[in-house]
Amino acid sequence: SWPRLPGYEVTAELGRGGMAVVYRARQTGLNRPVALKVIAGGALAGASDRQRLRREAEAVARLRHPNVVQIYDIGEHEGCLYLSLEYVAGGSLDRRLEVAPLPPAEAARVVEVVAGAV
């Protein structure tokens, strides 16, 4: 089941990783789409995972670049730590690459954008 977090309406699961699950949601107060990164294990998550997510949030908050997703908020509800992030439509690059390799010109554009962001 999807998490119930105050101020958000979860609408879909976008992906899973080793540390967190990412959901598409609507931030109800501002009526905007967001990506919610919710720590796996909820209130049962270990201290190291919780600290890692907090460090990630602080690092992302220091970045300002048009090709880097912005963080809106970090929160905790009933022991469940989460990040509210800018939602970018179109899916992830790793999922796109599962389908087939990018054509050379498109791959070069992606490398240029990623290099600029780094």
**H or E segment to which residue 104 belongs:** helix 104-117
**H or E segment to which residue 21 belongs:** strand 20-27
* pLDDT tens digits, one per residue of 40-65: 876 666 788 888 888 989 999 998 88
* pLDDT tens digits, one per residue of 49-106: 888 888 989 999 998 888 889 999 999 998 888 999 999 988 777 878 888 888 999 9
Q: Are 96 and 102 in contact (CB under 8 A)?
A: yes
pTM score? 0.83
**H or E segment to which residue 118 belongs:** none
Beta-carbon contacts of 42 under 8 Å, excluding residues fewer than 6 positions away, are 3, 78, 79, 80
Alpha-carbon distance 56 to 10, whole Å? 22
